[in-house]
């Protein structure tokens, strides 16, 4: 289980972004954190990953306090973070990136298997560079493939729908559904998308730096949808793309 205890964080200008957020992410569950833009969702994800340091509060992963560990040490403990905009590496091939994630050489069969799971043909991608020639959807799926190879205790995906086309979004939904069915560990997704919320086991709502609601998807999602239909303030987006 991942346990967050009274997490607080201030922006460099002193503005309070997170105010005493306490949350539990159970084992073998997919939790989606949602809420209005600017509410602190991505900041919280970066704090869990070790990319930001909380002003106060503690982070426990399976009972171990990891608050003071840096991002590399947390990765060694079994934590993965998929960026909203994945990093591109000119000169680094997809094969090499996958091998770095796996911690050693990969057979053609294994590389084909993991790329196939994210909807990519290994023969077309294995020797391509992880650079600007890849689309947003392609780079997102390759990043997810690296997470699959690491078999981490906690996997965090920050708005995986950002910057990708509808076809890629549909494929990502399928990948997350498969991951949910075979999950051994904890998965956390930051998202506004209704279709991603619909495959969650647990949903947490963060707004204005405060945890507003948390519970099973069966309890929380209907209330969010009712709020959207009633014209109230709501974070849910039904469509990922415009035009």
pTM of the model: 0.86
pLDDT at 241: 44
Q: How far apart are CA 59 and CA 78, in angstroms?
A: 14
pLDDT at 239: 55
Q: How far, in Å, are 92, 117, 151, 240 from residue 120 at the CA level?
A: 18, 7, 19, 21
Inter-residue contact 146 to 98 (CB < 8 Å): yes
What is the four-CA torsion angle of 201, 111, 158, 139, rounded to 10 degrees?
A: -140
pLDDT at 232: 53
The CB-based long-range contact list for 135-139 (8 Å cut-off, 24+ gap) reads: 135/164, 135/165, 135/168, 136/162, 136/163, 136/164, 136/165, 136/168, 137/164, 137/165, 137/167, 137/168, 137/169, 137/171, 137/172, 138/168, 139/86, 139/88
Dihedral over Cα of 181, 164, 147, 133: its sign = positive
Q: Could you tell me how far CA 77 lies from the centroid of its own chain?
A: 17
DSSP labels for 184-211? -SEEEEE--BHHHHTT-SEEEEEETTEE
pLDDT at 242: 38
Nearest-5° Cα angle at 57, 55 to 61: 125
pLDDT at 243: 31
Instruction: List per-block mean pLDDT (blocks of 10 residues) for the chain, which spans 243 residues.
Output: 97 95 94 93 95 97 96 92 80 92 88 85 88 85 85 88 78 82 84 92 96 96 79 58 38
pLDDT at 22: 98
């Amino acid at each position: 289980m991942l346990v967050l205890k009274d997490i607080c964080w201030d922006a460099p200008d002193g503005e309070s972004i997170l105010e005493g957020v306490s949350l539990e992410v159970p084992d073998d569950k997919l939790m989606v954190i949602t809420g209005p833009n600017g509410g602190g969702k991505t900041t919280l994800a970066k704090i869990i990953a070790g990319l930001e340091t909380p002003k106060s509060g503690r982070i426990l992963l399976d009972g171990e306090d990891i608050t003071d560990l840096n991002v590399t040490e947390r990765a060694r403990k079994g934590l993965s973070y998929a960026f909203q905009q994945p990093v591109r590496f000119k000169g680094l091939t997809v094969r090499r990136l996958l091998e770095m994630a796996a911690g050693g050489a990969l057979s053609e069969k294994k590389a084909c298997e993991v790329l196939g799971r994210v909807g990519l043909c290994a023969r077309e991608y294995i020797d391509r560079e992880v650079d600007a020639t890849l689309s947003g959807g392609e780079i997102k799926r390759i990043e997810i493939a690296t997470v699959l190879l690491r078999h981490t205790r906690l996997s965090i995906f920050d708005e995986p729908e950002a910057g990708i086309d509808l076809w890629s979004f549909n494929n990502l939904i399928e990948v997350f559904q498969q991951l949910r069915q075979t999950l051994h560990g904890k998965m956390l997704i930051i998202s506004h998308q209704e279709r991603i919320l619909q495959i969650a086991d647990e949903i947490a709502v963060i707004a204005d730096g405060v945890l507003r609601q948390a519970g099973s998807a069966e309890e929380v999602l209907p209330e969010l949808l009712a709020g959207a239909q009633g014209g109230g303030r709501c974070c849910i987006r039904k469509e990922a793309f415009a035009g």
